[in-house]
Structure 1
Amino acid sequence: MPQFRHLLTTVAGALLITGAIPAVAQRATPSFHQWAATPPMGWNSWDCYGPTVTEAEVKANADYMARNLKSSGWEYVVVDIRWYVGNDTAHGYNEKDPAWNIDQYGRFVPAPNRFPSAAGGQGFKPLADYMHAKGLKFGIHIMRGVPVVAVQRKLPILGSKATAADIYTKEGQAGWLRDMYTVVAARPGAQEYYDSLFKLYAGWGVDFVKVDDLSSPYHKAEVEMIRRAIDKSGRKIVLSTSPGETPIAEARHVAAHANMWRTVGDFWDSWEQLKEHFEVCNRWAPYIGPGAFPDADMLPLGRLGIRAERGDDRMTRFSRDEQYTLMTLWSIFRSPLMFGGDLPSNDAFTLRLLTNPEVLAVHRSSTRNRQLFRQNDLIAWTADDPNTGDKFLAVFNAQDQELLPETEAVWASGMITRQTPGHRQELTADLGGARQLYLNVRDGGDDIAWDHADWLNLTLSDGQKTVALSSLPWQKATAGWGQVAANKSVSGGALVVGGKTYASGIGTHANSMITYDLPAGFTRLTGEVGLDQAGAAQNTGGTVRFLVFTKNPYRPMPADSSRVAVALESLGLQGPCTVRDLWTGKNLGPVTGEFAPYIRRHGAGFYRISAVKKN
């Protein structure tokens, strides 16, 4: 038998390499995968309301979903982080004097001033009942671990003689929110603590739990305890792990324990972040399987930032072309779809984007989802319709106006990270006789979107007099997230780098460009650059590079549209075929040999291709 099992493993591995079977066919299918056999679809409060959402706002979004989205498969309504704090704040958590709501067994419960129906010890049950009455499902966000306040109070653990103080360690505590300590799996009471949590959630009627600070870094022991606790709870609770990137080396393990797991950090309405998803989705495509889905994170569409962590109240910064790209990639990759915008604020375009039946059918039931090719920034994905033999094709034009290399800059900082002494570096640049100045910040590629970057005490000199650059108006300023700000950080706070506060400077974010017209005669720029405290305080902080250019750092702009040619043979199709545009619902007529649509820059096309049946 051992030799036979080895032979089966060898054959399966060979078939996987050749693409004859998908990777997911090799793993056993746990029963809990049946609880979310297709990628979950729902709404999450984070992108709108950060840690401050109220019961009334949750219900308003649920009402909209029931009226407008439920018939298209949308069903989960998820209350995100810190629902147990009565006085939390937007644009940064209240960690100074949080008003905790916690029961006698060290389990957080909803703040009744924000969730009135939770009063009297009812927890989230009345709100879950409200969802269930509308045919929807209810979810919550929690942080991995045991509450610090429960440890400090030595609160008992239900079903154990241990207290919270017996099961914790400070090792691995999240750097970005210090509500929780790590649970040590080997200690008596550890499993019982997680069991007690999910027993409580099951009693409330919770259908979905997103567990934060679990995937990156990957806490394998707590993943396993959570899985056991859900299985013991007696309720079918879908498990989502966060944030990302989940280590791909743990792909098999997380798929065996969770229904969905994050592939990236927090994703916002930034084209740079969206473009990075092509590589990430390609990396994770082999691990898509029934009931177990790599999660490309939420859909930052519609109205965002009402009281959120990123930016101000706004409609998504994505152009319509970029929104089509987002929905097309998430659908053919079969990522869970968790809408981040305020649903009652949706416009007609956003509603159509979320309810296209042919696009959602690909998301729901397509198979063998994979990248077909990437030719620079022209990209094609494909998948199969298991019922008809048709092929789905998604094509993308991710071309950008490219930047000159760092070697063309008159000054470059090199990489600045949380490990850089003081998180800063001095700047001295010779500007020669230039009449324009370009301040460029580039992301270091660490998959952490907290690249808060500061230009500090920048001073122009002509050899005799000096001018503070922040006193001059810039000609143009763009930031990868948020808005460039004079004399404050991009997140709106003071400019703080390495524990030092600066009165003069410019706050921005990777990737960004700030352009100035230089006063005549000024030939020297001095100052400092650094990673703002808002970025440095994260688990691994940001990674940024600062560059100074005195000539236009942009290469010529690509064409507005580009032809993306796909050989039908590469899809496994021979002879004449018909093409249907899934977004417009139009039949495009017969094609032979290749299909080559023109796709707008940052845009996408999504098609069903069918072989013409012979009479």
Structure 2
Amino acid sequence: MKHRLLSCLICSILLLTTPVLAQQPATLANYSLAETPPMGWSSWNTFKKEPSEAVIKQTADAMVATGLQKAGYQYINIDDFWSTGRDAKGRILVDTVKFPHGMKAVADYIHSKGLKAGIYTNIGTEANYATLASGGYYDQDLKTFADWGYDYVKVDVNFAKDRSEGAYTKEFTQVAEAIRKTGRPMLLNICNQGGGSYQHWAPSLGNTWRVGGDIDHMPKGATTQWAGVMFELDRMAAVSAIAGPGHWNDADMMLVGVGTDGGRLTVMTPTEQQAHFSLWCLLASPLVIGNDLRHMTPQTLAILTNKEVIAVNQDALGVQSTLLYEQVRGLQVWTKKLESKTGNKYAVALFNRSANDAEMTLDLRKLGFAGKVAVRDLWAHKDLGKLTGEYAVKVPSHGVQLLVVQ
């Protein structure tokens, strides 16, 4: 009895002296599927309405042959326009012109390469063009995807009549429950286009969710790919606190190496593409590439396979980068705390958003470093030595110098 009273007293003291942590929401998402941000490829940015069995198989081959798989990319995701709707009994119709052997055969081929397969659908019930809406069929459709062997499901909102927080919570809860019922581990990518006050519900339902509209359409009226990158960056910056291992803010599929989209958008320069990739890694965004893997320049491949930069994205601590300070308008210093057993360690980007080359300065004291620290340049793969106080460097317009400081 005395031991029991002593135990209760100790428990009471611990409760009074331990900081109260924020209550975690009950979750339907399987966080173990995305302990670090997912890495893969999607058909949309290059192939739009024309994915095909041949393209998907060739892309899987290329992901292995180019070394992208070894660099960490694992998903081959088939985006929109693989289906033609439903038959009279509500069963999914596969576009057999594009996918003559069906969707299971494609998933099997992807798996044969040691990769994982992704597929696409929508919430809502009325698809008004050649795609799939799963509203009213969530259990049936997700079981179908599981039976076919898919590992990743992107669920879009093109046909959602109600885009309120309540409506999205209801629909995506049904999607998450349908995935759970299948018994197959399938990563859920919520493509909410930044809508529905996602901060309040998405982290408990999905592994990733979108912070904004499509990168190649934002802001409206944009004429350059770079404008979309900057739009997504600013959207990500506003919600960093809700991301973490298993559940990630998604800045959308990347445009590194992606062509002109019919001439509508000016393609990014190599400097801009390197900055784009650096920022997505700092932001702990999923690294989903969208270029034609069968026809890549050495420069594009070098950007996408920089293992030191990818390691920033895949860091186990799972912290999303935040803006540390702005030197002057357009000259920004972004930081991301990294896992370390030997003292504080940060990834730091000196990012020049301005239209001109500029001298930028990193004040190491603002990171809490008073003495000498080791600094490494991740794009030059070069140690810069032990530095103290400030570090200055010239950064090109729309460029970045990405460092690790420890």
State the TM-score bracket (shorter-chain normalisation): 0.7 to 0.9
Kept after mapping to 2: 8 A contact 1:299/1:339: yes
Does residue 1:107 correspond to 2:128, yes or no? no
> What SS class does the counterpart of residue 94 from structure 2 fall into?
coil
Unaligned 5+ segments in structure 1 are: 14-24, 86-99, 119-123, 149-175, 184-189, 401-559, 611-615
Cα distance change of structure 1 residues 231 and 349 upon mapping to structure 2, 3 Å threshold: same
Mean CA deviation greater in 290-299 or 372-381 = 372-381
Cα distance change of structure 1 residues 44 and 324 upon mapping to structure 2, 3 Å threshold: same
| 1:109 to partner: Cα distance | 3.2
Give per-residue Cα distances to partners, 1:542-590, cap 9 Å, x unaligned.
xxxxxxxxxxxxxxxxxx3212222212212220112110111011122
Match of 1:38 among 36, 39, 53: 36
Larger Rg over CA atoms? 1
Q: Percent identity?
A: 33
Cα distance change of structure 1 residues 7 and 264 upon mapping to structure 2, 3 Å threshold: farther
Match of 1:562 among 350, 358, 361: 358
Structure (1 or 2) with the greater helix fraction: 2
| 1:104 to partner: Cα distance | 5.4
| 1:293 to partner: Cα distance | 0.6
| 1:251 to partner: Cα distance | 1.2
Cα distance change of structure 1 residues 300 and 574 upon mapping to structure 2, 3 Å threshold: same
Cα distance change of structure 1 residues 585 and 256 upon mapping to structure 2, 3 Å threshold: same
Count of residues paired in the alignment: 376
Q: How does 1:287-298 map to 2 (within 5 A)?
A: 287-298=242-253
Q: How does 1:418-429 map to 2 (within 5 A)?
A: none
Counterpart of 2:380? 584
Counterpart of 2:117? 138
Kept after mapping to 1: 8 A contact 2:30/2:185: yes
Kept after mapping to 1: 8 A contact 2:83/2:132: no
Distance in 2 between residues matched to 1:11 and 1:49, nearest whole Å = 49
Does residue 1:279 correspond to 2:75, yes or no? no
Does residue 1:370 correspond to 2:354, yes or no? no
Counterpart of 1:349? 299
Cα distance change of structure 1 residues 370 and 302 upon mapping to structure 2, 3 Å threshold: same
Distance in 1 between residues matched to 2:43 and 2:177, nearest whole Å = 27
Unaligned 5+ segments in structure 2 are: 1-12, 217-223
Distance in 2 between residues matched to 1:195 and 1:84, nearest whole Å = 18
Counterpart of 1:270? 225
Counterpart of 2:10? none
Kept after mapping to 1: 8 A contact 2:122/2:134: no
Give per-residue Cα distances to partners, 1:262-316, cap 9 Å, x unaligned.
11111125222222233212112111111111110011122436xxxx42599x7
> What SS class does the counterpart of residue 249 from structure 2 fall into?
strand
Give per-residue Cα distances to partners, 1:123-164, cap 9 Å, x unaligned.
x1111111111110001111213356xxxxxxxxxxxxxxxx
Give per-residue Cα distances to partners, 1:196-226, cap 9 Å, x unaligned.
1111110000111111117966522111100
> What SS class does the counterpart of residue 322 from structure 1 fall into?
helix
> What SS class does the counterpart of residue 317 from structure 1 fall into?
coil
| 1:78 to partner: Cα distance | 0.8
Kept after mapping to 2: 8 A contact 1:561/1:601: yes
Kept after mapping to 2: 8 A contact 1:303/1:345: no
Distance in 2 between residues matched to 1:28 and 1:232, nearest whole Å = 17
Match of 1:384 among 331, 337, 344: 337
Does residue 1:599 correspond to 2:379, yes or no? no
| 1:30 to partner: Cα distance | 5.5
Distance in 2 between residues matched to 1:57 and 1:572, nearest whole Å = 50
Cα distance change of structure 1 residues 292 and 590 upon mapping to structure 2, 3 Å threshold: same
> What SS class does the counterpart of residue 276 from structure 2 fall into?
helix
Does residue 1:253 correspond to 2:201, yes or no? yes
Counterpart of 1:93? none
> What SS class does the counterpart of residue 564 from structure 1 fall into?
strand
Match of 1:397 among 338, 352, 363: 352
Does residue 1:329 correspond to 2:282, yes or no? no
Kept after mapping to 1: 8 A contact 2:348/2:404: yes
> What SS class does the counterpart of residue 344 from structure 1 fall into?
coil
Counterpart of 1:206? 150
Cα distance change of structure 1 residues 234 and 59 upon mapping to structure 2, 3 Å threshold: same
Cα distance change of structure 1 residues 234 and 383 upon mapping to structure 2, 3 Å threshold: same
Kept after mapping to 1: 8 A contact 2:357/2:395: yes
Does residue 1:311 correspond to 2:262, yes or no? yes
> What SS class does the counterpart of residue 101 from structure 2 fall into?
helix
| 1:363 to partner: Cα distance | 0.3
Distance in 1 between residues matched to 2:50 and 2:18, nearest whole Å = 50
Does residue 1:196 correspond to 2:196, yes or no? no
Does residue 1:240 correspond to 2:189, yes or no? yes
Q: CA RMSD in A?
A: 2.8
Distance in 2 between residues matched to 1:181 and 1:53, nearest whole Å = 18
Distance in 1 between residues matched to 2:199 and 2:16, nearest whole Å = 23
Match of 2:61 among 57, 60, 63: 63
Distance in 1 between residues matched to 2:346 and 2:229, nearest whole Å = 25
> What SS class does the counterpart of residue 265 from structure 1 fall into?
coil
Q: Give the TM-score taking structure 1 as reference length.
A: 0.57
Counterpart of 1:77? 76
Counterpart of 1:138, as a letter, is A
Counterpart of 2:308? 358
Cα distance change of structure 1 residues 584 and 107 upon mapping to structure 2, 3 Å threshold: farther
| 1:600 to partner: Cα distance | 0.8
Counterpart of 1:54? 52
Cα distance change of structure 1 residues 237 and 132 upon mapping to structure 2, 3 Å threshold: same
